[in-house]
């Protein structure tokens, strides 16, 4: 049985009503298309999770205009619907929902979801004003349209995963928001739909992100150094400085940010931090890439702070 494609909300809803009435779970994988193995890993996870209970997986493909603060980034966003459908089918997805912008944002649309929280004053929240308002709005619309049991997002967009988990909790949506590990190329570059826009030279330069994060992670996890010292504000600042300098040394990179935060709060690293998150964003030509990695700084039993 092939994957079914719906472009209209009402048609999708009608198809899902039957499944929901039978009590079968629905997994949702929201994407902006131009699918790669990173997206497909979320689809595979959803298929695996829903199948034992006879459930289904819905993949949404929608380039959400209101989360782009840069019009030319939106216009140049890759669109490959036919190839996407083939990949979804191969991965075992049951339904692809591919609405038009007019279907999601009809004339007169004026209700948005936003979050007042310090977690939006860091990383992409600070670098891309209005971006998360667009993400929160479209994902809450998708949640209302599909009413999934579980929804799958990549750790590659760690701040997005964080805010979506918080939204589902804050608004009592009753949906499990599940994070899936970042899928990388063999040389470490995180898969991204935007990678196809890189020249060969920019593609090589982009490796500075994963290299920097990894070197920073090794410094934070250095067991030869007392934990107290490793999580001190001075040491964190010095590793952050190292990350910024390393990215700036790459001639084809224009750094947007590099930071180290508590992975569980997105606040500053403190002596209660168990996992630190190193995150970086940079432009390679006109293409902006992001990446992140966690460092284990919390083995409190073995090391005293």
Q: Out of 44, 137, 182, 195, name the contact with ligand AMP by CB under 6 A.
A: 182
Residue 128 in contact with ligand AMP, rule: CB under 6 A: no
Residue 151, classed as helix, strand or coil, is strand
Sequence-ordered alpha helix ranges (H) in the chain:
9-21, 37-50, 71-75, 81-91, 101-104, 123-127, 131-146, 158-170, 200-205, 207-220, 227-230, 233-248
Count of residues engaged in binding ligand AMP, rule: CB under 6 A: 17
Q: Out of 180, 198, 255, 280, name the contact with ligand AMP by CB under 6 A.
A: 180
Those residues whose C-beta lies under 8 Å from the C-beta of residue 289, and which sit 6 or more positions away, are: 190, 192, 194, 195, 206, 209, 281, 282, 283
Residue 31 in contact with ligand AMP, rule: CB under 6 A: yes
Choose between 20 and 166: whose C-beta lies nearer to ligand AMP.
166
* 7 is annotated as an active-site residue: no
Residue 190 in contact with ligand AMP, rule: CB under 6 A: yes
User: Any idea how long the chain is?
Assistant: 305
Shortest approach of ligand AMP to residue 136 CB, angstroms?
Answer: 13
Q: Are 96 and 6 in contact (CB under 8 A)?
A: yes
Choose between 15 and 63: whose C-beta lies nearer to ligand AMP.
63
Residue 153 in contact with ligand AMP, rule: CB under 6 A: yes
Any bridge partners for residue 61, and if so which?
Answer: 31
Question: Dihedral, CA atoms, 189, 195, 200, 203, nearest 10 degrees?
Answer: -30
Output the six-digit token pair for 222. Answer: 């250095």
Choose between 80 and 232: whose C-beta lies nearer to ligand AMP.
80
7, 36, 39, 131: the catalytic one is: 39
What gap in Å lies between CA 268 and CA 246, rounded to an integer? 22
Residue 197 in contact with ligand AMP, rule: CB under 6 A: no
Residue 46 in contact with ligand AMP, rule: CB under 6 A: no
Bridging pattern class, strands 275-284 and 253-262: antiparallel
Residue 56, classed as helix, strand or coil, is strand
Q: What's CA 285's distance to the chain center, in Å?
A: 22
Residue 218's φ and ψ, nearest 5 degrees, are -60, -40
Q: Out of 12, 26, 42, 279, name the contact with ligand AMP by CB under 6 A.
A: 42
Residue 175 in contact with ligand AMP, rule: CB under 6 A: no
Q: Out of 39, 131, 203, 288, name the contact with ligand AMP by CB under 6 A.
A: 39
Stretch that binds ligand AMP, among 17-25, 139-147, 183-191, 240-248 (CB under 6 A): 183-191
Shortest approach of ligand AMP to residue 257 CB, angstroms?
Answer: 18
**In which residue are the tokens 């998708």 written?**
142
What gap in Å lies between CA 50 and CA 48, rounded to an integer? 6
Q: Out of 49, 84, 94, 157, name the contact with ligand AMP by CB under 6 A.
A: 157
Nearest to 27 by CA among 41, 46, 42: 46
Residue 291 in contact with ligand AMP, rule: CB under 6 A: no
Stretch that binds ligand AMP, among 82-90, 93-101, 148-156, 261-269 (CB under 6 A): 148-156
Shortest approach of ligand AMP to residue 101 CB, angstroms?
Answer: 15
| Residues forming the active site | 39
The residues of the shown chain that bind ligand AMP, judged by CB under 6 A, are: 31-32, 38-39, 41-42, 153-154, 156-157, 180, 182-183, 190-193
């Amino acid at each position: 049985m092939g994957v079914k494609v719906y472009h209209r909300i009402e048609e999708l809803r009608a198809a899902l009503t039957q499944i929901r009435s039978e009590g079968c779970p629905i997994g949702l994988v929201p994407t902006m298309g131009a699918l790669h193995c990173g997206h497909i890993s979320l689809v595979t996870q959803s298929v695996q999770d829903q199948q034992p209970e006879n459930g289904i997986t819905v993949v949404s493909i929608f380039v959400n205009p209101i989360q782009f603060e840069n019009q030319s980034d939106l216009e140049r966003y890759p669109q490959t619907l036919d190839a996407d459908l083939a990949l979804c089918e191969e991965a075992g997805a049951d339904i692809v929902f591919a609405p038009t912008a007019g279907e999601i944002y009809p004339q007169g649309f004026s209700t948005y979801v936003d979050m007042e929280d310090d977690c939006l004053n860091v990383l992409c929240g600070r670098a891309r004003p209005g971006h998360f308002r667009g993400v929160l709005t479209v994902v809450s619309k998708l949640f209302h349209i599909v009413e999934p049991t579980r929804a799958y997002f990549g750790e590659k967009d760690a701040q997005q995963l964080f805010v979506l988990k918080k939204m589902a909790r804050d608004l009592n949506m009753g949906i499990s928001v599940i994070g899936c590990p970042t899928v990388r190329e063999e040389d470490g570059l995180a898969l991204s739909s935007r990678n196809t826009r890189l020249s060969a030279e920019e593609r090589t330069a982009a490796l500075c992100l994963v290299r920097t994060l990894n070197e920073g992670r090794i410094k934070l996890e250095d067991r030869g150094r007392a934990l107290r010292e490793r999580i001190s504000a001075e040491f964190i600042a010095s590793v952050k400085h190292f990350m910024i300098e390393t990215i700036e040394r790459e001639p084809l990179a224009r750094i947007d940010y590099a930071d180290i935060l508590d992975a569980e709060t997105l606040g500053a690293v403190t002596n209660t931090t168990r996992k630190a998150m190193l995150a970086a964003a940079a432009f390679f030509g006109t293409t902006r890439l992001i990446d992140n990695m966690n460092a284990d700084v919390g083995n409190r039993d073995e090391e005293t702070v």
